Amino acid sequence: MAITTKKLLLINPVSRSAQGLACDPSSSFMPLGLGIIAALTPEHWEIAFIDESFEEFAFRPADLVGITAFTANAPRAYEIAAVFRAQGIYTVMGGIHASMVPAEAAQYFDTVITGEAEVVWPLFLSDFNDGNPATLYEGGVVPVEKIPHPRRDIFRYPYVNDLIQTSRGCPMGCDFCSVTLMCGKKYRERDVEDVLDELEETTRPLLFIIDDHLVNNTRYARERALKLFKGMVGRGIKKLWLGQASINFADDDEVLYWAAKSGCTLILLGIEGETTQALRDVNKRLNLKRGVDSYREAFRKIHRHGIAILGAMIFGMESDGRQELLNRRDFILRSGIDAIQASIMTPLPGTGLFERMTAQNRIVLNNFPDDWQHYHFMQATMGTAKLSRDELQAIMDEVWLSMYNKENLRRMLFRTLHRTRNLKAAYWVYGANHNYGRMTLQQKIHNQPGGITRNMEWNSGKRSLYLRFTDYLLTLLYAVSWNSMVEKFRGQY
């Protein structure tokens, strides 16, 4: 019997207020989860994909619509689902937000799939084909062998990076984070050869290895990391890559050597806070164990291998007042951090932090689901023990402006160049800092007095001697290195 072709439309929604990471094409990353859904879908389904980071969704007919969403984009996901449901088209939601608040998502979607989809998506499709889908499927965590290579052909937009995931899970369960809730307590590591095979399918020269702990603290983590990095070199997989790790990434010089040799250019470290009190506030056990005094030496070791540091810092912890926030800013500027991710503490649904803040009636932006659109870490949704929400937001605007203004970004670029002796790392850092600046200071980008341009310069038009001088230097450096790489990359589209 011939099987009739059906149409599956996958959508990555982006909030119309479009704030935060992932909302600007220059900082948009492919939703790997949808690539996996596509890979798990039998061939008789025709698959289309819309990423609202690049194009606004417009209605098109389909038999089934699958939508993923971060919390900040959940209201938009609900809006889009309503358009399809009004036309009698079946909708299904999965991903982190649906997994944390399935009862809420079920009000807007026909079916909700929580957790990892590798096992339950085929079950759902089979029930859907039989005309009998359930309203909820709980995927939980799956054996890593079940993870297919994502269908990368659906990612037809000009994403700057390819993404790959080599492991899932984290035992730490930090108070503010959803990773342990979503991916389980156990590190589940994919077979390295399979990861290398998948890497050979990627096409972009920039790569983001999205594991939450690229080199975790298990006994075999070191060997596994070495196998992966040496494997990349051995197979001639040439990438400039960014990964995420903890401070223990700096422990082993051989790991750092091979990481750098395989193209590691930037490493995101979850520093979160620079004082013991701040780390206690968020129960960041890993960093507490090491002690805040260990940071500088760790940064130095990483830099020595030509790798720059993207420091993930949180502002707005319980014990934070004005002075603590300014101290954190000063620490960032002096410590050896190259690219800055300075987020505002945000109570993500499902986390211990959210439960506690809700019980204490502390969350100000709590008109859900609408207010989820503010949960992108660039807007205060609550205050601290010492600051109101408005005070926290005002101080953050000040902090961001002093970090992301053009002169400081230039200084940081040259500092990174000096520390790493790596031009590519310095350029990556410079670009990343501009992106973070644009995202955090979105409200300040305007033509009025006191405003800044998208290029992080004061819009008064007056440029300092320092900026004018370094312009020449940069044009020269740019011409000989980064530009040629970007051009090569562009040629692939």
Which of 121, 155, 187, 482 is in the footprint of ligand B12 by CB under 6 A?
A: 121
Size of the site for ligand SF4 (CB under 6 A): 10
Cα(first)–Cα(last) distance of the chain, in Å? 39
Q: Return the sign of the alpha-carbon dihedral for residues 275, 276, 280, 283.
A: positive
DSSP state of 476: H
Q: Is 179 in the site for ligand B12 (CB under 6 A)?
A: yes
CA atoms of 25 and 18, how far apart (whole Å) = 11
Q: Kindly state the smallest distance separating residue 343's Cβ from ligand B12, in Å.
A: 4
| Residue 31 burial (10 A CB sphere; 0-12, 13-18, 19+) | buried
Q: Kindly state the smallest distance separating residue 448's Cβ from ligand B12, in Å.
A: 26
CA atoms of 188 and 166, how far apart (whole Å) = 9
- What x/- string results for residues 196 through 215 when contact with ligand SF4 is judged by CB under 6 A? ----------------x---
- Interface of this chain with ligand B12, residues 339 to 378, rule: CB under 6 A: 341, 343, 348, 376-377
Q: Which amino acid, one-letter code, is at 205? A: P
Q: Kindly state the smallest distance separating residue 350's Cβ from ligand SF4, in Å.
A: 12
Q: Give the interface segment with ligand SF4, choosing from 27-35, 52-60, 132-140, 170-178 (CB under 6 A).
A: 170-178
Residue 202 contact, options ligand SF4, ligand B12, none, Cβ 5-8 Å cut-off depending on partner type: none
- Assigned token pair, 290: 């090491």
Q: Is 382 in the site for ligand B12 (CB under 6 A)?
A: no
Q: Kindly state the smallest distance separating residue 241's Cβ from ligand SF4, in Å.
A: 19
CA atoms of 380 and 363, how far apart (whole Å) = 10
CB atoms within 10 A of CB 57: 18
CB 95 within 8 A of CB 77: no
- Interface of this chain with ligand SF4, residues 311 to 350, rule: CB under 6 A: none
Q: Is 38 in the site for ligand SF4 (CB under 6 A)?
A: no
Which of 8, 9, 36, 292 is in the footprint of ligand B12 by CB under 6 A?
A: 36
- Interface of this chain with ligand SF4, residues 275 to 294, rule: CB under 6 A: 286
**DSSP string of 131-185?**
T---SEEE-----GGGPPPP-GGG--S--SEEEE--EE--S---TT--HHHHH-S
- Residue owning tokens 């492991």: 167
Q: Kindly state the smallest distance separating residue 257's Cβ from ligand B12, in Å.
A: 25
Strands 6-12 and 45-51: parallel
Q: Kindly state the smallest distance separating residue 252's Cβ from ligand B12, in Å.
A: 23
Which of 14, 144, 172, 456 is in the footprint of ligand SF4 by CB under 6 A?
A: 172
CB 36 within 8 A of CB 150: yes
Size of the site for ligand B12 (CB under 6 A): 43
Residue 270 contact, options ligand SF4, ligand B12, none, Cβ 5-8 Å cut-off depending on partner type: ligand SF4
Q: Kindly state the smallest distance separating residue 122's Cβ from ligand B12, in Å.
A: 11
Which of 8, 10, 69, 177 is in the footprint of ligand SF4 by CB under 6 A?
A: 177
CB atoms within 10 A of CB 484: 11
Q: Is 228 in the site for ligand SF4 (CB under 6 A)?
A: no
